[in-house]
Every structure is written in C-alpha cells, then in structure tokens.
C-alpha cells in the first residue's frame, strides 16, 4: 500500500529474536520506492499544489484589477485555423494538427490574434471602445535549453477602438495597476515605438531590399551587425551614425527632450503618451528608442516589463492599429500580456531580497 510520502509498506516474514519477549508473527517494514521517469514534452512542466496556490493568488489579484478597470474576460479555443493565425502576422505556430475534415489547425501563439477574430466576428456592430481581458495558455516554438517555455500562461488585456495616445496611456495604467496588485515592487516599463525606426529608414531613404536584415539586427540588439548592414546598404556616415545612435538612447523624459532633427519627429507620439500618464505610472517608465518587438502586427508604441529579479521581460505589449483591419473590422487597438510564471519568479526573487 502506498503511503502519503511515496513509500510502500511491505509485510515480511518474522526473524527469530536472539533474546527478549516474544514478537508478533509479522511486522511492517518501510522501503523507499525507486522513482520512475515518465518524460513530458520539452518546454513544458508540471505544477504541483503549493506552487499552484501561489500562481492562483497572482491571477486572482490581476483579475480583480481587470474587472475593476472595466475589462470583461473572454475565452477562445486553444486550437485555431492556421490560416486565421497566419492572417494576424503573429509568431509562427509551434504545433499543427489536421482535424477530421482535413483542415489544418494550430495551437494559438498568443491571444491577440484570436481576440481580433472574436471582435470582427461577434462585435462588428458594437460601439467602441471594447475592453476585453483573458487568462489563457499560449504555445510557441522556442529553445527550451535556454530556459524558454513552449507552453505558458498569460494574463492580458486588449483595448479595441481607443486610438493613441489616450488608449496607450490607459493600457500602461492598467498594466501598472495589475503589477502593483500582484505585489511587484521594483519593476520598470521600457517604452518605445515600433514605427520609429522604420520612419527613420524612410526619411533617410534606405533601400527596401536592405531593410529586413537591418530590422532583424535591431530586434536582436546586435549593434555590431547593424553597423555592418548599414555599411552594406551604402548609407552615408552621418545618416548611419543617427541610425546607430537612436536605438541606443534610453532613459527618462530627457531622452525625448533631447531628440533633434528627424528623431524629434519620431518621438512626438511618445511625448504625448508621457504627458497623459499619472505621476505614479510615469515614474515607472523608461524610454527605450531601440525597443522593437518581434511580432509582426505592432504599429506604434511598444513596451516591455522588466524587474531586477528576472533576467528577461516578464510581459509586454503595444499598439496594433492595423490588425483588426485584416479581419474586416478596422479599429485601432492596444494591449499587453503578462507571463504568469515569470511574474511568479520575479515576486519570489524580490521576496528573497527583503
């Protein structure tokens, strides 16, 4: 019979005692059970009760903020038609299957594209803005040996029909409310603009053929490779210096105030967002003019959440003003997602530093 601690109680034949009072005919002996290894897919994990209680406490705190700020929770299928996900321009699917009709289905890579589909299908005639939130697993093609997860729980919002800068300021405010409610203390939000660098490339006249690799190096934050690509594109020294310097500018509002020439025009939208933020939210923001997210639907302000207790962003988001139009419902939109596992790690790290 298995006990609570993973041991097995076995009966064994009695051994004649050397001396002393008589013993019972049988007695119980405890022997350890050799653990058996039954593997699970790479990039996934089991969550046991103690940790599950902590994760649930985090999600309930975040859910309370979303509800208080007027965001209604939605749920979508984990499986979507691959063509639908492809139309959204998000991350490529990690898992594909065929259904019994021969249709190609894929596990969702995030919730933004499925919610865009929901809005276009179910809320086409609704009066914007729409405020929706979710708590759902997403699935990505990643490199598990680097500690990345293929399956992860996200909590997020989508604000549909609220243009910049007011919609962006609201999303950042809800993000701070959620992190505060979860108990995170030392976080900062890196804020940039996905359109800033492409605008500079337009202004300078960088050839279209050279742009994909230039943007790839920018996403990778490989400035040595970026310099090489700018040289191969035949960009003159002055313009190349601007394109190298701009994405390395990072700091407080002085970063925006010090922008000149083409860069001043590019940061105007960020300046308007900053003016709308409450002081306690603005204090959390670090302007990062080189911040570019690798999902293809972002069009304007983008942001990542950082905490000293974690070496990677624990969430992020931004504006995707063109995505709804791909589903026949052209509306501006902004949203963010928090990775609950990473938020949990950051909270645990902060508690360890106290």
Structure tokens, 284 = 């959390």
Indicate the angle between helix axes 166-182 and 268-276, nearest 10 degrees. Answer: 50
Q: Which single residue is written with the structure tokens 């962003």? A: 313
Lowest mean pLDDT segment, chosen from 103-117, 264-278, 284-298:
284-298
Q: How are beta strands 72-73 and 130-139 bridged, if at all?
A: parallel
d(Cα 62, Cα 68) in Å, to the nearest integer? 10
d(Cα 317, Cα 93) in Å, to the nearest integer? 19
Nearest CA-CA partner of 55 in 46, 67, 47: 47
HSE, side-chain direction, 13 A CA sphere, residue 40: 9
d(Cα 233, Cα 252) in Å, to the nearest integer? 32
**pLDDT for 1:** 44
**pLDDT for 21:** 55
**pLDDT for 345:** 96
Section 179-184 average pLDDT: 98
Structure tokens, 76 = 């979508």
Nearest CA-CA partner of 169 in 97, 298, 251, 269: 269
**pLDDT for 18:** 53
Q: Provide the percentage of residues in the chain whose pLDDT is more than 90.
A: 61
Section 149-162 average pLDDT: 96
| Cis bond before residue 221 (omega within 30° of 0) | no
Section 83-93 average pLDDT: 87
**pLDDT for 160:** 98
d(Cα 199, Cα 219) in Å, to the nearest integer? 16
198 falls in which pLDDT band (50, 70, 90)?
confident
**pLDDT for 147:** 65
**pLDDT for 17:** 53
Give the list of residues 6+ apart from residue 31 with CB closer than 8 angstroms, or none: 7, 8, 10
Checking if the pLDDT of 19 tops 60, the result is no
What is the rounded average pLDDT for all residues in the chain?
88
Over residues 288-338, the pLDDT tens digits come to 998 987 767 899 999 999 999 998 999 999 999 999 999 999 999 999 999
**pLDDT for 148:** 78
26 falls in which pLDDT band (50, 70, 90)?
low
Lowest mean pLDDT segment, chosen from 29-43, 57-71, 331-345:
29-43
Neighbours of 317 (CB within 10 A): 27
Lowest mean pLDDT segment, chosen from 69-73, 171-175, 267-271, 334-338:
267-271
């Amino acid at each position: 019979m298995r006990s609570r601690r993973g041991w097995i109680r076995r009966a064994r034949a009695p051994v004649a005692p050397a001396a002393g009072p008589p013993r019972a005919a049988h007695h119980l002996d405890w022997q350890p059970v050799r653990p058996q290894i039954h593997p699970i897919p790479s990039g996934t994990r089991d969550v046991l009760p103690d940790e599950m209680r902590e994760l649930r406490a985090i999600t309930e705190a975040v859910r309370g903020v979303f509800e208080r700020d007027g965001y209604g929770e939605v749920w979508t299928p984990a499986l979507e038609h691959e063509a639908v996900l492809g139309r959204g321009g998000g991350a490529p699917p990690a898992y594909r299957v065929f259904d019994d009709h021969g249709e190609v289905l894929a596990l969702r890579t995030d919730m933004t594209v499925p919610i865009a589909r929901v809005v276009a299908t179910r809320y086409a005639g609704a009066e914007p803005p729409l405020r929706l939130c979710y708590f759902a697993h997403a699935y990505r093609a990643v490199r598990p040996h680097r500690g990345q997860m293929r399956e992860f729980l996200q909590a997020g919002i989508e604000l549909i029909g609220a243009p910049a800068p007011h919609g962006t300021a609201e999303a950042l405010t809800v993000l701070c409310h959620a992190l505060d409610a979860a108990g995170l203390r030392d976080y900062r939000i890196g804020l940039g603009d996905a359109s800033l660098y492409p605008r500079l490339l337009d202004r300078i006249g960088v050839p279209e053929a050279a742009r994909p690799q230039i943007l790839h190096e920018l996403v990778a934050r490989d400035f040595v490779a970026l310099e090489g690509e700018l040289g191969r594109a035949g960009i003159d020294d002055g313009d190349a210096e601007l394109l190298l310097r701009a994405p390395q500018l990072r700091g407080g509002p002085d970063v925006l105030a010090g922008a000149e020439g083409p860069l001043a025009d590019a940061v105007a939208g960020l300046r308007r967002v900053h003016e709308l933020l409450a002081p306690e939210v603005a204090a959390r923001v670090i302007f990062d003019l080189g911040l570019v997210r690798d999902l293809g639907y972002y069009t304007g302000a983008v942001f990542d959440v950082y905490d000293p207790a974690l070496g990677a962003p624990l969430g992020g988001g931004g504006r995707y003003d063109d995505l709804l139009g791909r589903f026949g419902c052209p509306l501006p939109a902004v949203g963010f997602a928090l990775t609950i596992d990473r938020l949990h790690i950051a909270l645990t790290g902060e508690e360890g530093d106290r």
